[in-house]
Amino acid sequence: METRALIGKFLLRICVFLVFSSTIYSILICVAGEILPKYLKRNILYTLGSVGFTHTRLEEAKITENIDILFLGSSHAYRGFDNRIFQKHGYSSFNLGTSSQTPLQTHTLLKRYVKKIKPKIIILEVSPMSFEADGVESSIDILSNDLKDLNSITMVLNQNHIKAYNTLIYSIYRDLIDINKDFAEPPNKGGDFYISGGFVENKCNKVILDTTQSIAKTINYSKTQLKCFEAIINEVRELNMRLILIQAPITSLKYATYLDNTSFDEKMMKYGEYFNFNTLMSLTDSIYFYDSHHLNQLGVDKFNTEVIIRL
C-alpha cells in the first residue's frame, strides 16, 4: 500500500480508537464515581451542595430578573456583599459569587446568567489570588451544582485539568439520570446562613485569624485568567452595563502577602472603575474579620456602606 494510504489508515485507526476509548473512559468514570470510596476518587470531585451554598444560589439565579446590581467573585463576594444592606439603600441585588471563583468561572456564569438577570450594574470582586489560581476548585463547584451547557464545556477546555474533565463527565451522567432531583440544600451549615439573594452570613462567633507572616511574593498572573478577565470586560461593555471592579478587604497581614499590590491596582484601573478597599478603609483585623479572608457582619456593614457611597 502507498505510504499516504497507510498514514491515512493509521490516522483513521487512531480516531476510531479515540472514540472507542473515550466511550469506555466515560462509562468507567461514571461507574467509579458511583461505587468507589471518596479516597480513591481524587480525580472525580463531585461537590453537590458544597460549602458556599452554590446549589441554592444558582437555583435562585435561575428565577432572578431585572435587578440593580449583580455581584460576581469569590467567597469575598458572597460573604462580603450583603443584599439586605443594599436593599435598605434602595438597590435590588443578587450575589453570584462562588467559592474560589476566578475570571474563568466568572466568564462562564456571566454568559449563562447576565442576559436573564439583566442587572444595571455589575460589581466584580477582584484580587491577586483570583488571577493566580488555576480555578479548578471553583470549576468543580459550578459543574457539580449548575446546569451543563456549551459554556461548561468551554470552561473545562480552558481549565484543561483532569479533575475538571472527569467531574464534567460524571456530572453530565448524574444530570442524565436525574439523580439530583430530590436534593435540597439545608439553609444553614456550621454557622453559615444562606440569605436570599446569594449572601452568606457567618453567625459563628469563632475568630480564626492566621497570624503567621508568610514570605511576600509578586503576583504570578495566569495567562488564562487574564484572557478571561479581558473577555468579561469586553462583554460587559458590549452589553452597556456599568462595571465596577472592587478589591474586598482582607486582613492587613494577608494583604501584605503580595509585594506588588500597587501595580495590581494600576492594572485594574486601566480596565475601568476600580476601588481597592484595603487602601480606602482601615479595618482592624481582630474587630472586623472572622478569618484572614472574610469580614464579620460588623465589617460587612461598614464595607457595604462604603461601597454604596461610591455607587
Partner 1 sequence: MLFNSLNFAIFLPVVFIVYWCVVNKSLKLQNILLLVASYFFYACWDWRFLFLLIFSTLLDYFTGLKMPAAKNHRIKKVWFWISITVNLGFLAIFKYFNFFSSSFAELILNFGLYVNPWTLQIILPVGISFYTFHGLSYVIDVYNGRIKPERNLIDYSVFVSFFPLLVAGPIERATHLLPQIQKKRIFNYRESIDGLKQILWGLFKKIVIADQCAEYANMMFNSPLDHAGSELILGAIFFSFQIYGDFSGYSDIAIGTAKLFGIELIRNFAFPYFSRDIAEFWRRWHISLSTWFRDYLYVPLGGNKGNMWMKIRNTLIVFLVSGFWHGANWTFIVWGAINALYFLPLLITGKQHQNQQIIAYNKVFPSIEEMFKVIRTFILIMISWIFFRSETINGSFIYLSRIFSETLFTVPNFSGVRYSLMILFLISFLLIVEWNGRKEEYAICRIGTLWITPFRWCFYSLLVFLIGMFMPTSETPFIYFQF
Q: Which residues bind partner 1 (CB under 8 A)?
A: 3-4, 6-7, 9-11, 13-14, 17, 20-21, 24-25, 28-29, 32, 39-44, 136, 160-163, 165-166
At its nearest, how many Å lie between partner 1 and the CB of residue 71? 29
Rounded CA separation 45/127 (Å): 25
**What is the amino acid identity at position 5?**
A
Residue 135 or 249: the one with the smaller Cβ distance to partner 1 is: 135
Residue 24 or 147: the one with the smaller Cβ distance to partner 1 is: 24
At its nearest, how many Å lie between partner 1 and the CB of residue 82? 35
At its nearest, how many Å lie between partner 1 and the CB of residue 120? 40
- Count of CB atoms within 10 A of residue 209's CB? 13
* Helix orientation angle between 150-159 and 136-145, rounded to the nearest 10 degrees: 160
At its nearest, how many Å lie between partner 1 and the CB of residue 10? 6
Could you tell me the three cell numbers for 133? 489560581
Total length of the chain? 311
Rounded CA separation 178/142 (Å): 17
Residue 13 or 116: the one with the smaller Cβ distance to partner 1 is: 13
Residue 32 or 253: the one with the smaller Cβ distance to partner 1 is: 32
Residue 18 or 287: the one with the smaller Cβ distance to partner 1 is: 18
* CB 107 within 8 Å of CB 139: no
Cα distances from 66 to residues 63, 109, 197, 252, in angstroms, run: 10, 16, 13, 37
At its nearest, how many Å lie between partner 1 and the CB of residue 60? 32
State the burial class of residue 128 (Cβ atoms within 10 Å of its Cβ: 0-12, 13-18, 19+). Answer: buried
* CB 113 within 8 Å of CB 96: yes
At its nearest, how many Å lie between partner 1 and the CB of residue 112? 26
Rounded CA separation 181/179 (Å): 6
**Interacting residues of 260 by C-beta distance below 8 A, sequence separation 6+:** 218, 219
At its nearest, how many Å lie between partner 1 and the CB of residue 17? 6
Residue 88 or 227: the one with the smaller Cβ distance to partner 1 is: 227
Rounded CA separation 199/77 (Å): 8
The three-point CA angle 249-289-221 to 5° equals 35
Residue 46 or 165: the one with the smaller Cβ distance to partner 1 is: 165
